[in-house]
A and B are shown apart, each in its own frame.
Chain A
Amino acid sequence: MSKALLVLSDGVVFEGEGFGSEGEAIAEVVFNTSMTGYQEILTDSSYKGQIVTMTYPQIGNYGINEEDIESQGGIKAEGFIVKEVCEFPSNWRSQASLVAYMKKSNIVGLQGIDTRALTRHLRNHGVQMGIISTKDLNPESLLEKVKKHQGIAAYDFVKEVTTKKIYKWEAGCWKWCVVERSKAVLKVVVYDFGIKFNILRNLVEAGFDVTVVPAQTDTEKVLEMNPDGIVLSNGPGDPQTVTYAIESAKKLMGKKPTLGICLGHQILGLAMGGRTYKLKFGHHGGNHPVKDLSTGRVEITSQNHNYCVDINSLKGQVKLTHKNLYDGTEEGMQHVELPVFSVQHHPEAGPGPNDSVHIFKRFREMIERFYAKKN
């Protein structure tokens, strides 16, 4: 395979081999520590605008299958970096190899670099822009290209990944999911900011009738649909760029019970007048311990975020409900009066542990309580 380069915006160069598609990709370089789940990671719209590095050294072992995708239309990450790619998968569900899948989605991959060194560099110096190229092998010209790029904070990726049309979702989780499926009795409208299918699957399992709407849908239109609850989904990029979503959240809060996940959680934080800040190297992995402060239980969670809500900026308005035991950052909040709660981690897993899947049940219970009180 041909030579390929990764050049970071601080001038550090990694040389390896290209795999997947030929070409060039400029994006923010992040690392993910999950040992499984590369297919879910690649198809997660939250990775739009990012090049993902896997810390686990051999990726592709179990191939690609049609069931484990997290979004329609192939890979969403801009590029993929691994230590070693496995071209001959072994798994009964495998339908294609990772390399073939990357080619089909027209995504550039880089393998054969010291991913541990790259991860350390990102941990020490923070996530930054980078470029992978199989065409241009001149580090200086690549560095120039990265420097010219205005950075991802300037982009609204949500517009690119959200659905164009309103649609209904009916599929449940993959056959062996932990949650028992309840009958769909409650209607929920999900704002798609780059939704992971597993959120929709888990909502179905928890007994919801699910309708997905585009990110810029008017709140009036949503309220006309008369849902029992609203979900603000995960999604890519800086929450401050999605001003229309923050406005919608402001209008909806209190009218309908609301659950926010990841970007949805940050949007709620901003809608309440709080502030968000960027983490040095983000949380991307499937092993973060999160303490549920109401039960005292520690759950191992799936994480994928670079931004956080500053809980101190919302004093008096919300209660902290979840805390990350790695770095003490906030992972969830509950409004003190309104039926609004949100989590920063991913209760839907995909990839990662199902420990927090009960969040969907909690959402359902909140809705039930809300309407019981009203009647």
Chain B
Amino acid sequence: MPKRTDIKKILLIGSGPIVIGQACEFDYSGTQACKALKEEGYKVVLINSNPATIMTDPDIADATYIEPLTADIIELIIKKERPDALLPTMGGQTALNLAVELAESGALEKYKVELIGAKLHAIKKAEDRELFKEAMKKIGLEVPKSAAVMNLKKGMDAIEHIGFPAILRPSFTLGGTGSGIAYNMEEYTELLDNGLKLSPVHQVLVEESVIGWKEYELEVMRDMKDNVVIICSIENFDPMGVHTGDSITVAPAQTLTDKEYQRMRDASIAIIREIGVDTGGSNIQFALNPKDGRMSVIEMNPRVSRSSALASKATGFPIAKIAAKLAVGLTLEEIPNDITRETPASFEPAIDYVVTKVPRFAFEKFTLLKLQFIKFVLLKLLFEKLELLTSAFIIFALEKSVLFAVVLLNVQLAIFLEEKLLLDMLEPLKVLLAIVLRI
């Protein structure tokens, strides 16, 4: 399928300031997308409120607006630039939310701007919990069980099929007041009773907890012809309950048999089709019960995500670049593979190495007052890690890359701490290093 000629000018929304959940990964994907679209001969208009990015460099887009990321401002830019299309999937959640706002306010229709990559209905289906749950049910996939409960009696019925542990969230309480995890009936009744009183609408959302389950992510790409490929699988070292951003993550998945991996792959393909992301990349998260292999779909991002950046770097497959080209109608088969240059992009990277991502916590930003606390946490962490490392050793060098990354980071952390703390840290670090050297 040749690229589209009915669109000439494309508006791209950046992700704005670097905050938790919206880090420099989106600058990386946005820049790639700009370059890819220009390479195909399209005019690119970019808006981003953050000038400290590569994508806002003068030679990246054809027109760059450094303005606040609000629907009003973007509408003004649309009015002035009159783009034919809006690509909302490169600037993280910020860009996606803005695209939804612009579509719903009628601004896109008014100026005849087409959403490319992900359409409004697909974004809504992926983002709305209820719609998503329904969609998953339709294709025979499980999501964590949940129920909205208005009284104690209903609560008892609900817990019967949800089971323990369960997460309770009173509706419309400020800052999550009254939320908690119940591991048994006693805790459950107490939390529920309290939650119902706290909630202004006397409603508590009870959800099955998948805390402690294995956590996986798959990066999926789809083109106009409905060809779907999986770029990368990622397994979290830390189980569900630890945010992916705070977890050590490893690519590819380490502890799934082929049958189990294919089941997850088939599910991902079914999900991207059911949600209806026409072209481009999506990120799908799964939780897997380590005791019996029950698989639950956690969420789907119908856009380039932070994990896409990891997946890109891990496999050499430029997800954002390819996603941008798919959005303008090219198919995977027509795009050359960046690494081999001879074969098409319609393939699944088979890597012969393991990639590990370790979060780096910026302890240097803490004040000295907090350092005593950090020392405590760090030593505890280190001891836990030590335990972990010995067990990693038992699993026979789970991955040398994991160990090296952990040790390197801990050494780096230590340098930022007080000298005295450093001395305290030295012994455990030596042990760590000794373990690594033995392996």
Q: Which residues of A are interface residues toward B (Cβ below 8 A)?
A: 33-37, 39-40, 55-58, 61-62, 65, 67-68, 84-93, 115-116, 119, 174, 176, 178, 285-289, 291, 296-298, 300, 325-326, 349-354
Asked if B353 lies at the interface with its beta carbon under 8 angstroms from chain A, I say yes
Option from B229, B350, B394 in Cβ contact (under 8 Å) with A34: B350
B residues near A178, Cβ cutoff 8 Å: 266
The distance from the CB of B218 to the nearest CB of chain A, in whole angstroms, is 12
Q: Are A300 and B229 in contact, CB atoms less than 8 angstroms apart?
A: yes
B residues near A326, Cβ cutoff 8 Å: 343, 347
The distance from the CB of B277 to the nearest CB of chain A, in whole angstroms, is 18
Q: Are B266 and A354 in contact, CB atoms less than 8 angstroms apart?
A: yes
A residues near B350, Cβ cutoff 8 Å: 33-35, 55-56, 285-287
The distance from the CB of A300 to the nearest CB of chain B, in whole angstroms, is 5
Q: Are A92 and B292 in contact, CB atoms less than 8 angstroms apart?
A: yes
Give 28 CB contacts A-B under 8 Å.
A34-B258, A34-B350, A35-B252, A36-B258, A39-B257, A39-B258, A56-B352, A62-B257, A67-B259, A85-B396, A86-B396, A87-B396, A88-B394, A88-B396, A92-B291, A93-B260, A174-B259, A176-B263, A176-B266, A178-B266, A285-B350, A289-B346, A300-B229, A300-B230, A300-B346, A300-B347, A325-B333, A349-B262
A residues near B266, Cβ cutoff 8 Å: 176, 178, 354
Q: Are B258 and A91 in contact, CB atoms less than 8 angstroms apart?
A: no
A residues near B397, Cβ cutoff 8 Å: 84
Known: A88-B394, A93-B257, A351-B258. 7 other contacts (CB 8 A): A86-B396, A89-B255, A92-B293, A115-B352, A287-B350, A325-B346, A349-B258
Q: Which of B259, B260, B261, B347 has the most CB of A within 10 A?
A: B259
Q: Are A298 and B346 in contact, CB atoms less than 8 angstroms apart?
A: yes
Asked if B354 lies at the interface with its beta carbon under 8 angstroms from chain A, I say yes
Q: Are A40 and B347 in contact, CB atoms less than 8 angstroms apart?
A: no
What are the interface flags for B171-202 relative to A under an 8 Å C-beta threshold, 1 for contact and 0 otherwise? 00000000000000000000000000000000
Asked if B7 lies at the interface with its beta carbon under 8 angstroms from chain A, I say no
Instruction: Known contacts A88-B395, A298-B333, A325-B346; decide if A33 and B262 are in contact (CB<8 Å).
Output: no
Asked if B227 lies at the interface with its beta carbon under 8 angstroms from chain A, I say yes
A57 to B353, CA, bound (A): 6
B residues near A58, Cβ cutoff 8 Å: 254, 354, 399
Q: Are B262 and A116 in contact, CB atoms less than 8 angstroms apart?
A: no
Please give me the residue from chain B that is nearest to A115 by CB atom.
B352
Please give me the residue from chain A that is nearest to B223 by CB atom.
A298
Asked if B76 lies at the interface with its beta carbon under 8 angstroms from chain A, I say no
Q: Are A289 and B347 in contact, CB atoms less than 8 angstroms apart?
A: yes
What are the interface flags for B388-406 relative to A under an 8 Å C-beta threshold, 1 for contact and 0 otherwise? 0000001111010000000
The distance from the CB of B113 to the nearest CB of chain A, in whole angstroms, is 30
Q: Which of B255, B258, B262 has the most CB of A within 10 A?
A: B258
Q: Are B351 and A35 in contact, CB atoms less than 8 angstroms apart?
A: yes
A residues near B349, Cβ cutoff 8 Å: 287
The distance from the CB of A363 to the nearest CB of chain B, in whole angstroms, is 20
Q: Are A92 and B290 in contact, CB atoms less than 8 angstroms apart?
A: yes
The distance from the CB of B214 to the nearest CB of chain A, in whole angstroms, is 9
Q: Are A33 and B352 in contact, CB atoms less than 8 angstroms apart?
A: yes
A287 to B232, CA, bound (A): 12
B residues near A88, Cβ cutoff 8 Å: 394-396
Q: Are B252 and A68 in contact, CB atoms less than 8 angstroms apart?
A: no
A residues near B343, Cβ cutoff 8 Å: 289, 325-326
A residues near B230, Cβ cutoff 8 Å: 300
A126 to B227, CA, bound (A): 32
Q: Are A36 and B352 in contact, CB atoms less than 8 angstroms apart?
A: no
Q: Are B346 and A36 in contact, CB atoms less than 8 angstroms apart?
A: no
A residues near B79, Cβ cutoff 8 Å: none
Enumerate the 4 nearest inter-chain pairs by beta-carbon distance, A residue then B residue, closest first. Answer: A37-B258, A351-B258, A176-B263, A36-B258
The distance from the CB of A320 to the nearest CB of chain B, in whole angstroms, is 17
A76 to B261, CA, bound (A): 23
Asked if B75 lies at the interface with its beta carbon under 8 angstroms from chain A, I say no
The distance from the CB of A156 to the nearest CB of chain B, in whole angstroms, is 29
Asked if B225 lies at the interface with its beta carbon under 8 angstroms from chain A, I say yes
The distance from the CB of B407 to the nearest CB of chain A, in whole angstroms, is 19
The distance from the CB of A115 to the nearest CB of chain B, in whole angstroms, is 7
A176 to B260, CA, bound (A): 8
Asked if B256 lies at the interface with its beta carbon under 8 angstroms from chain A, I say yes
Q: Are A352 and B347 in contact, CB atoms less than 8 angstroms apart?
A: no
Q: Are A298 and B332 in contact, CB atoms less than 8 angstroms apart?
A: yes
What are the interface flags for B249-280 relative to A under an 8 Å C-beta threshold, 1 for contact and 0 otherwise? 00011111111111101100000000000000
A residues near B163, Cβ cutoff 8 Å: none
Instruction: Known contacts A68-B257, A93-B257; decide if A354 and B262 are in contact (CB<8 Å).
Output: yes
